[in-house]
Structure 1
Amino acid sequence: MDSFNEDSLIVTQANKLATASYTLTLEEKRIILLMASLIRRDDEDFKDYVIPIIELQKYLGLRNKNFYERLRDICKKLRSRPVSINQHNGDWLEIGWIDSAEYKSAKNNELGYSCLILSFSPKMKPYLLQLKEQFHSYMLSNVANLKSIYSIRIYEILVSFRRKGKVVLEVDSLRKMLQVEHKYLNFKDFRNRVIIPSQRELQEKSDLCFEFVEIKKGRRVHEVQFIIHEQECPTQTERKSVPLPNQLRIFQETGAEKEQDELYEKNVQRLLDTGVRKKIALQMVKEKEPSHVEENIEYALTLFMRSKKEDKDLASLMIASIRDDYTAEERKKRRKKEEADLKRKKREWKTKESERLKAKKTEKEREKRENRFGSMNSKDKEDLFKAFEESGKLNSFMKKKWSRNNPTYGIAGSIFLLFMDEYLKQKVNKEKKVSCSGIPSYFSNKIKQLS
């Protein structure tokens, strides 16, 4: 079974589509992504996308007996799913994702196998075709293994801001994009059910990870700042390949080959323009990677422009640059720098994640102490206050910051809660000693050993 070629299946879409407001299930989103990845850069119109059923079944991970009923239900719902896109000057657009979904059995089509034929809604053209600005691209393999629709959505939103490295989004706007404005009204639920699970899954399975900072307005979390990090896909060597229909793979490879051919021809022409003989130009370009040839041509031009010698032979310089690969060392340095940057980002991420987990643990421990204090009766609290005030744990400055009315507040409150832990432990130990008095020494020793 052939699998996805990670270097050829690329999803390209307008940034507005990433931040649009819509609801899709995981299976529906995967179908849309597969369709989008089959659009070629030079396509001027949408095509019908033919996907073999047997391979679509594996791609979607649906192996149950009622697959055909499930697929029809997915396509029906997908046709009715709206996507809301905000335009300039307060304008908006409500459109559907697909124009049609057609199933053809093996006996009823010329291809000889059962297939699903899908087509995008024509109104989607400005957001998927002939994109020149305000768009982003990513490899389908970076999201193909994600199990949460929220992870995929947040990935797409963050990819559209990848170059900036960070973005601040209003909580209400983010809820609206994900269509959960009526589902997780409490930010804590939204954070724990949507943001944090997505953060973990992206870190484990994708080429992008993020940190986030809650920005409050008053007592309410009003905005979230996402800090975006790029990483080597952690599961790239481990993850299972996602099956791709044979003719779709060929279609994509043909597109990749076409791009290589175009670059090959461009490089040959540039060499000819500088006076390199055609036979030599063809031979040199054929022997080297097109991208490496292109880099060396640019490098040779730079050297030529810097040279003060009027009789400098550009053609000879081009040949030498390509033959001896003048940019090899530069590529090596660039690769090392990229690897070093990646390692540094990973270290920073691990450090910050460790600090976050420690802070979370400390917060939980403090919460437990506060709950323990809250469950104490008035007499026990009075005894605790008296013991704390007599303990000398607070200096004269800290004493002014602490009061019985709000004993757990601030740094002084933290000291009070830690003191409470020790105080209660000592109290329990004293009670054990009292309970053991009057018991024969043999049993008393046994009880002490067990305690």
Structure 2
Amino acid sequence: MPIETVKKVTLIQPNQVTNAKYSFSKIQKNILYHVISELQPRMTKGEVKMEETKITLKLRDIDTNRNYQRVIDECKKMMRKQISYVLNKDNGKSTIVLATTVAAVTHDHGSEEISFILPSYAMPFFCYYGALGFTSYQKVLALSLKSTYSKRFYELCNRWKDKGGFTIPLKELREMLELENKYPKISHFRARVMDPAQKELQEVADVWFEYELSKFKSRSYNRISFKIFQRNAKGEAVRKDPSKATKKEKYSYVVRFLYLTFPAHHSNKAVEITDALMKMKYLDEVYSRFMRLERDLNLGKKNRADIERVTRFILKEDFELE
């Protein structure tokens, strides 16, 4: 489906969903897209209401071939899928939550509809974007993609398009796609996963990628770098240059980065610090430094604890901000 023919209905999706480690089939991904669509009014960077939620969908929207038995079979498998995330509490403590994406599925015989019951503990996973931000993408285009890998890379391209690309350890990408033990030969991984997804996105999507494998202190390929392209109004390929970001884009980026250290549901400190940096005319400098830190995080050179420690040090020692 060419991008020109796609009706643009934009969804936002928490980055903890975008980055999650799971392996869903094409139909299961389409179910997830419809669920995310129905949950749009509940997307928040504040407190998420923890309650069991029922979402009813049309069977024909999940599978255009209307193979209803196949949909039911995929739902059974989906109920066995688990998610994990960290739930931060008001007292500053955090809890690791393991939950299923779907608690129950109901379908009346002969009905054209199917209902999904989402457990209460899955709601922060699906709806909270305060700590890591969110990804926005076109719903109809995501649904139209034929490969489950194309769907995942479409989301990742949309997340990182404003930065022009990203680099990630190959091991981490395999874990994200749950391909740790599948396609062990790099040639098979490229032929079965990377190349078909790249080709499909470049042919039909509003964003796509080029990639390069590299060896970092290793004899074998262990990291992968993505260059992300967007299609402009004329249909031409363009790539975002992070160095040419506007003040507004830099401000938004710094706030999102500071959420890693100062979660939004605890306080408004990330915004207050960014306002102070902007007032002191340090926004450009801190934007560049945080970009480098995030690159180190993506490369695996630093972990989340390192980022928080270095961020606090930079703010205190270089900018006199606690």
State the TM-score bracket (shorter-chain normalisation): 0.5 to 0.7
Q: Report the residue type matching 1:127 in the other structure.
A: F
* Aligned equivalents of 2:103, 2:121: Cα separation in 1: 9
Paired residues of 2:149 and 2:197 also in contact (CA < 8 A): yes
Instruction: Report the 3-state secondary structure (helix = DSSP H, G, I; strand = E; otherwise coil) of the residue aligned with 2:144.
Output: coil
| Structure 2 residue aligned with 1:122 | 120
2:238 is the alignment partner of 1:345 = yes
| Structure 2 residue aligned with 1:48 | 54
Paired residues of 2:8 and 2:139 also in contact (CA < 8 A): no
Paired residues of 1:14 and 1:128 also in contact (CA < 8 A): yes
Q: How do 1:372-411 residues align onto structure 2 when only pairs under 5 Å count?
A: none
Using the TM superposition, give the Cα deviation of residue 13 of structure 1 relative to its aligned residue in structure 2, in angstroms: 1.8
Query: Which has a greater percent of helix?
Result: 1
Structure-2 change in CA distance of 1:200 and 1:125 (3 Å): same
| Structure 2 residue aligned with 1:203 | 202
Paired residues of 1:41 and 1:130 also in contact (CA < 8 A): no
Using the TM superposition, give the Cα deviation of residue 186 of structure 1 relative to its aligned residue in structure 2, in angstroms: 1.4
Q: Report the residue type matching 1:147 in the other structure.
A: K
Structure-2 change in CA distance of 1:215 and 1:91 (3 Å): farther
Structure-2 change in CA distance of 1:227 and 1:344 (3 Å): closer
| Structure 2 residue aligned with 1:71 | 71
2:93 is the alignment partner of 1:94 = no
Structure-2 change in CA distance of 1:169 and 1:37 (3 Å): same
Larger relative contact order, structure 1 or 2 (CA cutoff 8 Å, min sep 6): 2
Deviations for 1:158-205, whole angstroms, at most 9, x for unmatched residues? 322222221101111101110111111112211121111110011112
Using the TM superposition, give the Cα deviation of residue 18 of structure 1 relative to its aligned residue in structure 2, in angstroms: 1.1
Structure-2 change in CA distance of 1:145 and 1:171 (3 Å): same
| Structure 1 residue aligned with 2:139 | 140
* Aligned equivalents of 2:86, 2:11: Cα separation in 1: 21
* Aligned equivalents of 2:22, 2:190: Cα separation in 1: 19
* Aligned equivalents of 1:94, 1:129: Cα separation in 2: 16
| Structure 2 residue aligned with 1:30 | 30
Structure-2 change in CA distance of 1:121 and 1:160 (3 Å): farther
- After superposition, the CA RMSD in angstroms is 2.9
| Structure 1: runs of 5 or more not aligned | 107-112, 233-338, 347-451
| Structure 1 residue aligned with 2:7 | 6
Deviations for 1:366-421, whole angstroms, at most 9, x for unmatched residues? xxxxxxxxxxxxxxxxxxxxxxxxxxxxxxxxxxxxxxxxxxxxxxxxxxxxxxxx
Using the TM superposition, give the Cα deviation of residue 225 of structure 1 relative to its aligned residue in structure 2, in angstroms: 0.5
Instruction: Report the 3-state secondary structure (helix = DSSP H, G, I; strand = E; otherwise coil) of the residue aligned with 1:101.
Output: strand
Deviations for 1:277-314, whole angstroms, at most 9, x for unmatched residues? xxxxxxxxxxxxxxxxxxxxxxxxxxxxxxxxxxxxxx
| Structure 2 residue aligned with 1:16 | 16
| Structure 2 residue aligned with 1:180 | 179
Q: Which of 101, 107, 118 matches 1:103?
A: 107
Instruction: Report the 3-state secondary structure (helix = DSSP H, G, I; strand = E; otherwise coil) of the residue aligned with 1:163.
Output: helix
* Aligned equivalents of 2:163, 2:181: Cα separation in 1: 31
* Aligned equivalents of 2:196, 2:14: Cα separation in 1: 26
Instruction: Report the 3-state secondary structure (helix = DSSP H, G, I; strand = E; otherwise coil) of the residue aligned with 1:128.
Output: helix
Using the TM superposition, give the Cα deviation of residue 78 of structure 1 relative to its aligned residue in structure 2, in angstroms: 0.8
Structure-2 change in CA distance of 1:92 and 1:14 (3 Å): same
2:64 is the alignment partner of 1:61 = yes
Instruction: Report the 3-state secondary structure (helix = DSSP H, G, I; strand = E; otherwise coil) of the residue aligned with 1:227.
Output: strand
Runs of 4+ in 1 over 6 A off after TM superposition: 86-91
Q: What is the percentage of aligned positions where both structures have the same residue? A: 24
Structure-2 change in CA distance of 1:149 and 1:225 (3 Å): same
Structure-2 change in CA distance of 1:185 and 1:86 (3 Å): farther
| Structure 2: runs of 5 or more not aligned | 44-48, 240-322
Paired residues of 1:84 and 1:93 also in contact (CA < 8 A): yes
Instruction: Report the 3-state secondary structure (helix = DSSP H, G, I; strand = E; otherwise coil) of the residue aligned with 1:48.
Output: strand
Instruction: Report the 3-state secondary structure (helix = DSSP H, G, I; strand = E; otherwise coil) of the residue aligned with 2:223.
Output: strand
Paired residues of 1:17 and 1:85 also in contact (CA < 8 A): no
Q: How do 1:244-255 residues align onto structure 2 when only pairs under 5 Å count?
A: none
Paired residues of 2:14 and 2:129 also in contact (CA < 8 A): yes
Q: Report the residue type matching 1:32 in the other structure.
A: L
Paired residues of 2:212 and 2:226 also in contact (CA < 8 A): yes
Q: Report the residue type matching 2:208 in the other structure.
A: C
Q: Report the residue type matching 1:139 in the other structure.
A: Q
Paired residues of 1:16 and 1:86 also in contact (CA < 8 A): no
Using the TM superposition, give the Cα deviation of residue 91 of structure 1 relative to its aligned residue in structure 2, in angstroms: 7.9
Instruction: Report the 3-state secondary structure (helix = DSSP H, G, I; strand = E; otherwise coil) of the residue aligned with 1:221.
Output: coil
Using the TM superposition, give the Cα deviation of residue 5 of structure 1 relative to its aligned residue in structure 2, in angstroms: 8.6
Give the TM-score normalised by the residue count of structure 1: 0.45
* Aligned equivalents of 1:94, 1:23: Cα separation in 2: 16
Aligned residues: 223
* Aligned equivalents of 1:123, 1:177: Cα separation in 2: 21
Instruction: Report the 3-state secondary structure (helix = DSSP H, G, I; strand = E; otherwise coil) of the residue aligned with 1:181.
Output: coil
Using the TM superposition, give the Cα deviation of residue 46 of structure 1 relative to its aligned residue in structure 2, in angstroms: 6.4
- Larger Rg over CA atoms: 1
Structure-2 change in CA distance of 1:154 and 1:5 (3 Å): closer
Q: How do 1:249-264 residues align onto structure 2 when only pairs under 5 Å count?
A: none
Q: Report the residue type matching 2:11 in the other structure.
A: V
